[in-house]
Structure 1
């Protein structure tokens, strides 16, 4: 697990994720021309779970599923 701290909507938070998820977030952010913080802020704003790390993992899964479906 890698733990990183970042600012989201004006407050500091820490997220612990496996390195593979951080790599996927880097790819997602690059594809969307966003910073990592802005991507995680977007995920935070629409999450359906109380746990931000879980919401991030689900967003990564959805991103890969969409890429697989669209080829």
Structure 2
């Protein structure tokens, strides 16, 4: 959070004018950044694709115990 604040202060100190967007554009951007495939109704596929490498790593770290339910 401190780094974000530092960057914000540095940007604002340049004196550049802010380019504000309307609520509709902000909502669209938030949806796309949260889950880009949600726009085509593929939410479950996105969640699986994002989580699968983490699950495989945890199974590997547990030497298969996680998959066995131990």
Which one has a bigger Cα radius of gyration? 2
TMscore range, shorter length: under 0.3
TM-score norm. by structure 2 comes to: 0.27
Work out which structure has the larger RCO, using CA pairs closer than 8 Å and 6 or more positions apart in sequence.
Answer: 1
Instruction: Give TM-score, length-normalised by structure 1.
Output: 0.27
